[in-house]
Chains A and B, each alone.
Chain A
Amino acid sequence: MEVGMLELLAEPMGYEFMRVATATSIIVAVTCSILSSFVVLRGWALLGDAISHSVLPGIAIALALDIPYIVGALLAGVGSSALIGLVESRARIRNDTAIGVVMTGAFATGLILLSWMRPAVDVFHVLFGNPIGVSPNDMYISAAIGALVLLTVAVLLKEIVAYTFDPIFSKVIGIPTTLLHYVLMILLSLAIVSALNTVGIILVITLLVTPGATAQLISRNITQMIGASILIAVSSAIVGLYLSYYLSISSGGAIAGVATAIFFGVLVTKTLMRRLREKNR
């Protein structure tokens, strides 16, 4: 039997859960990729990874206290970024060391708490995402977070660019840089929380790093870079979900995998094109 391309694309969308999963994944991809450019340019890849791992104990504690998990995750995310800053300056150790200590410590705490409490949530889903299980309610929360991130970055774009490019200059000219830093940490934590259901806290770093890294290869200015980053992340989310549907593979893994493949695709193409240009000269 001949199956057309159109039917292949349309079939999964016949299911409500796939429509919700796709919409949520696209929203999350946009949210994370907006921040991705700054994560890449400021060298926050490891910091973003630390925040995402630190979200685990926040979720565990929230479940224990019966408060919304989003509140616990947010507090843990911002708290860990503050703790990293504190450890770095007090212990006078390198930033990546401070991150390593805090990140693994927080993650271990989360694992201990969750294994001890044995809550009704599936730890595997928190770690690796489960877009198929996303409820419309989760989708609305992700959309609200996405709108907040988009609006904040749009309003503060100049300040964020100045701060992430040259923090010392920004402070001296009078930008409230400490406040701005924590606003960015809050946005990062929110983006990570919104990605819990789709890619999970282990793979969210792919959406926070790889689209920006790919965009940097092909962009001349920051607005272009943010735009390209969004485009790459959204394509990864859509292609990844279809792959996961037809191949019955992990959707978080598929989305992250596609994003990574695009990065290497662009890198190889760029290198080959440069070689070719040099040869023709």
Chain B
Amino acid sequence: MYAIELESATLRYDDVVALREVTFRSEAGKMIALIGPNGAGKTSILKMLAGLVKPTSGRVKVLGKDPSKTRGLVAYTPQREEVYWEYPLTVRDVVAMGNIRRRGVFRWLDSHDSRVDTALRLVMLEDLASRKISELSGGQQQRTFLARAICQGGEVYLLDEPIAGLDAPSETILLEILKTLRDQGKTIVMATHDISATLEIFDYVALIRNRLVAFGPPKEVLTSENLANTYGGSTIALHLDDLEKVAKWR
């Protein structure tokens, strides 16, 4: 059984074709990076895997099931801009949301729970547990989201642009946590619009530009030709710096 599976998945929004005939799959316990420029369809793939949108044609399966039947097993972390960070919540409150389905009716915002503590420890936020989320750095906000997913205890983690706008140390910390999760057998699908040398740690990368440009281990897939097909000739210059790093391990 595959953890995630897309077969000729096409997604249309009215007259826009967001994704055309995308096919790739991965077994459980892998890290998969979805890479492509803005508008390439990365979020659309994550939303299909989460069961938030249905493919117009083709097939999407998660843990061998239809994505609408995997509730609780899939943790979704939206792009950071999707939520209002001025919401008066502490880090612990947000992480405890991962527990929401485990609790009965008639309970208050009581978030003292060992699952919450474990998740906070894993992302190294124990010391900031009672800090307001509006007072966090971008990297800390992203780790809070990740802790919420860990607290939920899903098998598949869908992360939309978690490293966008993070400084290098924060990015490294986040990716280290993802590696730990993978080593526990979790499947991680992460969208990113930036190519960087850190992508080396992923088991698979999928290059997306409203279709699947290439899929496979990073060393095989991240060729200058594939990247040019993904980003187009003009934008590739922006990534030259990273390409040099990429070239080193090819």
Write the residues of chain A forming the contact surface with B, with a CB cutoff of 8 angstroms.
41-43, 92, 155, 157-159, 161-162, 164-166, 168-169, 171-175, 216, 219-225
Contact = CB atoms under 8 A, between A and B. Distances in A.
Interface string B170-185: 0000000000000000
Interface stretch (B2-10, B19-27, B34-42, B83-91): B83-91
Nearest to A216: B88
**6 nearest A-B residue pairs (beta carbon):** A174-B71, A172-B76, A168-B78, A172-B50, A162-B97, A166-B83
Which among A43, A92, A172 has the greatest number of chain B C-beta atoms within 10 A? A172
A162 B76 CA distance: 13
B103 interface: yes
B209 interface: no
Given A41-B87, A165-B84, A222-B88, A173 B71 contact: yes
B89 A166 contact: no
Contacts of A223: 108-109
A46 to B, nearest CB: 15
Nearest to A90: B14
A174 B94 contact: no
Contact of B103 (A42, A155, A158): A158
Interface size class of B (residues with CB under 8 A): 35 or more
B101 interface: yes
B109 A222 contact: yes
B93 interface: yes
B100 A162 contact: yes
Given A169-B77, A169-B78, A220 B109 contact: no
Contacts of B101: 173-175
A153 B186 CA distance: 35
A22 to B, nearest CB: 30
A161 B71 contact: no
B52 A171 contact: yes
Interface of B: 14, 50-52, 71-72, 74-78, 82-84, 86-90, 93-94, 97-98, 100-101, 103, 105-109, 132, 148, 152, 158
Given A41-B87, A216-B86, A222-B88, A168 B108 contact: no
A92 to B, nearest CB: 8
A60 B94 CA distance: 44
B89 A165 contact: yes
A221 B62 CA distance: 36
Given A169-B76, A174-B101, A216-B86, 9 more contacts: A162-B100, A165-B83, A168-B52, A168-B78, A172-B51, A173-B72, A173-B97, A174-B71, A224-B88
B82 A168 contact: yes
A contact patch SS = helix
A48 to B, nearest CB: 16
Contacts of B50: 168, 172
30 contacts: A41-B88, A43-B84, A155-B105, A155-B106, A158-B103, A158-B109, A159-B100, A165-B87, A166-B83, A166-B97, A168-B50, A168-B52, A169-B78, A171-B52, A172-B51, A172-B74, A172-B76, A173-B97, A173-B98, A173-B101, A174-B71, A174-B72, A175-B100, A220-B90, A220-B132, A221-B89, A221-B90, A222-B88, A222-B93, A222-B109
B107 A172 contact: no
A43 to B, nearest CB: 7
Nearest to A174: B71
A157 B105 CA distance: 10
Nearest to A42: B84
Contacts of A220: 88, 90, 132
Nearest to A175: B100
Nearest to B101: A174
Contacts of B94: 165
Contacts of B106: 155
Contact of B88 (A166, A168, A169, A219): A219
B88 A221 contact: yes
Which among A42, A159, A162, A164 has the greatest number of chain B C-beta atoms within 10 A? A162
A216 B88 CA distance: 7
Nearest to B82: A168
A173 B152 contact: yes
Contacts of A92: 14
A171 B101 CA distance: 12
A166 B71 contact: no
A175 B105 CA distance: 13
B146 to A, nearest CB: 12
